[in-house]
């Protein structure tokens, strides 16, 4: 396709306003829109026009949008499809990516997001061939394990959908309590191995002397206490998925043995001589900074490259505050069933306090707090006064509630002193840049990169904002929420 040649883009949605907005946007970008109201109409359009891309609503009249997309990509495998939905969910996002959708966007959407997606697609169409993901008709009948509506969670949902149907090794990195094992289980449940075992082992929780036996298994009499033959995790997970949690804590000598298993797909039990084959899929996770461990000589670089084929980042809860209320409601419902207590609700005041708290223990800490509140509160309504004092105190001293002038004053004193001692110049420019850069980053993250919204909040012209972003060197991938899956 020539770079100057217009792209034919189909819009499949029975909502007139959505068709109108997309039609205008596509036309303004000098491409050719083909709006239709139902799946039936699309086949006539496809016979007459060379459609390269399609925006498809998930709720079509008389047909499910995901099923239609599956049929569409079966007949036109190189078409790029973007699914549109009025209500985002983990299941729908994962399924959309599994069947080969390029992206999954929620209504109402920003025009700039549509423009960005179309621009990305044009690069794909005019350059390298599109990456194909293996379609799967596998349906998970299990409840969604992951909960969240933030951009970072939607990115994870897409990543799960794209990698689940493959056998690629996945490395999940993130702080403790961010749900790394839930991500691994979700990948397994949406994979073709879903009916095979999911075996998890925490490399940090098992003593070094026993970890090798846990992984490789052992023969009877191979060491003191080995009274029987034992199968290891490699053997138990064959045909299924092995989840190696806290891989950063694995001893170096075991790292080299693990690397050999990943390379050769075979191993021997401790004290054994029979070579055993394994067809396991490996997912690893860690809260450690593996780059730092590699520099310190505590983690093998070659093992890192073998594991980091498909990286996923699990953001801490403080970076996705919009998920806190959704998680609280989820844990209230879950707690009612697990703890056999009456239904509880959270007051708005209590909800706001919990949203202000930084949650150093992440999702695990939040769930434990909610469980405790459900047991200790006799009343159906959980109020602010019921919250643990530690949470109340810390939520009340967050930076957002501190006096900004006092904070800036304390930070500037040592900086000004250093400039005076070194005869530095242009102090005003240096300080303003250091204030502007984080401010613009935060606002662009909050508006999901929408410069029009950000400029309105700042009270400046959009062109001024664009120029500042360029001068300050602010890139979209400066923020975790803007990162894409590999």
Q: What are 77-99's pLDDT values in tens digits?
A: 778 999 998 776 777 788 888 78
State the pTM of this model: 0.62
pLDDT value for 207:
87
Q: Are 164 and 191 in contact (CB under 8 A)?
A: yes
Joined together, the tokens standing for residue 443 give: 């606002």
Burial of 131 (0-12, 13-18, 19+ CB in 10 A): exposed
Q: What is the mean pLDDT of residues 312-319?
A: 92
pLDDT value for 410:
66
pLDDT value for 209:
79
> Which residue has tokens 């930076």?
399
* Parallel/antiparallel/unpaired status of strands 266-267 and 310-314: unpaired
Q: What is the mean pLDDT of residues 195-201?
A: 93
419-to-107, 296, 393, 434 alpha-carbon distances in Å: 50, 34, 37, 15
For the chain, the C-alpha Rg in angstroms (whole number) is: 26
Range list of H helices, 89-150: 90-98, 111-126
Length of the chain: 486
Which of 26-30, 43-47, 73-77, 356-360 is predicted with the least confidence, judged by mean pLDDT?
73-77
Query: How would residue 220 be classed by pLDDT, with cut points 50, 70 and 90?
Result: confident
Between CA 348 and CA 358, with CA 352 as vertex, the angle to 5 degrees is: 150
Query: How would residue 483 be classed by pLDDT, with cut points 50, 70 and 90?
Result: very low
């Amino acid at each position: 396709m020539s770079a100057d040649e217009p792209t034919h883009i189909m819009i499949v949605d029975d909502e007139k306003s959505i068709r109108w907005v997309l039609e205008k946007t596509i036309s303004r970008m000098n491409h050719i829109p083909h709006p239709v109201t139902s799946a039936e109409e699309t086949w006539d359009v496809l016979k007459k026009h060379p459609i390269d891309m399609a925006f498809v609503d998930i709720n079509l009249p008389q047909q499910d949008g995901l099923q239609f997309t599956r049929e569409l990509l079966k007949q036109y495998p190189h078409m790029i499809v973007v699914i549109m939905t009025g209500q985002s969910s983990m299941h729908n996002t994962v399924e959309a990516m599994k069947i080969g959708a390029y992206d999954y966007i929620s209504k109402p959407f920003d025009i700039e997001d549509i423009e960005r997606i179309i621009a990305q697609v044009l690069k794909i169409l005019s350059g390298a061939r599109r990456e194909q993901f293996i379609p799967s008709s596998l349906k998970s009948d299990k409840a969604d394990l992951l909960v969240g509506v933030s951009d970072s969670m939607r990115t994870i949902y897409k990543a799960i959908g794209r990698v689940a149907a493959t056998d690629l090794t996945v490395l999940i990195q993130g702080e403790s309590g961010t749900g790394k094992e839930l991500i691994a289980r979700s990948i397994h449940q949406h994979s073709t191995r879903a009916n095979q075992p999911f075996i998890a082992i925490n490399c940090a929780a098992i003593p070094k002397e026993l970890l090798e036996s846990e992984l490789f298994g052992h023969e009877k009499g191979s060491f003191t206490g080995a009274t029987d033959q034992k199968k290891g995790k490699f053997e138990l997970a064959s045909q299924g998925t092995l989840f190696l949690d806290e891989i950063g804590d694995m001893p170096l000598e075991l790292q080299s043995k693990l690397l050999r298993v990943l390379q050769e797909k075979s191993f021997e039990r401790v004290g054994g001589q029979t070579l055993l084959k394994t067809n396991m899929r490996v997912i690893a996770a860690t809260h450690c900074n593996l780059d730092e461990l590699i520099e310190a000589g505590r983690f093998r670089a070659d093992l890192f490259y073998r594991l980091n084929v498909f990286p996923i980042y699990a953001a801490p809860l403080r970076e996705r505050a919009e998920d806190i209320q959704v998680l609280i409601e989820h844990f209230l419902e879950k707690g009612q069933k697990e703890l056999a207590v009456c239904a509880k609700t959270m007051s708005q005041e209590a909800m706001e306090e919990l949203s202000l708290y930084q949650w150093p223990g992440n999702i695990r800490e939040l769930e434990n707090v909610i469980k405790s509140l459900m047991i200790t509160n006799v009343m159906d309504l959980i109020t602010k006064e019921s919250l643990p004092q530690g949470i109340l105190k810390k939520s009340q001293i967050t930076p957002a509630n501190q006096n900004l002038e006092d904070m800036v004053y304390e930070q500037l004193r040592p900086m000004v002193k250093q400039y005076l001692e070194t005869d530095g110049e242009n102090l005003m420019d240096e300080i303003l840049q250091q204030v502007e850069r984080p401010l613009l980053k935060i606002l662009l993250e909050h508006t999901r990169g929408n410069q029009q919204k950000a400029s309105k909040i700042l009270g400046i012209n959009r062109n001024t904002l664009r120029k500042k972003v360029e001068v300050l060197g602010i890139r979209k991938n400066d923020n975790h929420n803007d990162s894409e899956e590999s």
